[in-house]
Amino acid sequence: MGNDRKFSTNEVLELYAKKKAKLTVRKLGRATILIEGDRTALEFLGNLLVACARSKEHDVEISPRGAGMNRFTKQSTLGLYVHRAPCSEKKHRR
């Protein structure tokens, strides 16, 4: 993905759906989360984070049991919620 163009998170999801990128996200230990994948899957995650940071969107959520489920392996037990701060929308403040 080029550095000059701003991609939306949906564009990143669509692009990596074609590449069949799959992450494994699960609890590894008491205070550790495993995020595992091949080169394409980790590139997908990196570009998803960059898209969230650069776009007008302030959050993206994907889950192995909901939206974005095709980007996860069957071993995944956790999803991802990425939120850019500060946020002006009260409903998203944590």
Tokens 């919620």 -> residue = 81
Coil/strand/helix, residue 54: helix
The model's pLDDT over 35-62, given as tens digits with 9 standing for 90+, comes to 999 999 999 999 999 999 998 888 999 9
Q: What is the pTM of this model?
A: 0.86
pLDDT recorded at residue 6: 84
Check pLDDT > 90 for residue 91. Answer: no
The model's pLDDT over 1-14, given as tens digits with 9 standing for 90+, comes to 655 678 999 999 99
The model's pLDDT over 60-85, given as tens digits with 9 standing for 90+, comes to 999 999 999 999 999 999 999 999 99
Alpha carbons 38 and 40: distance in angstroms, whole number:
6
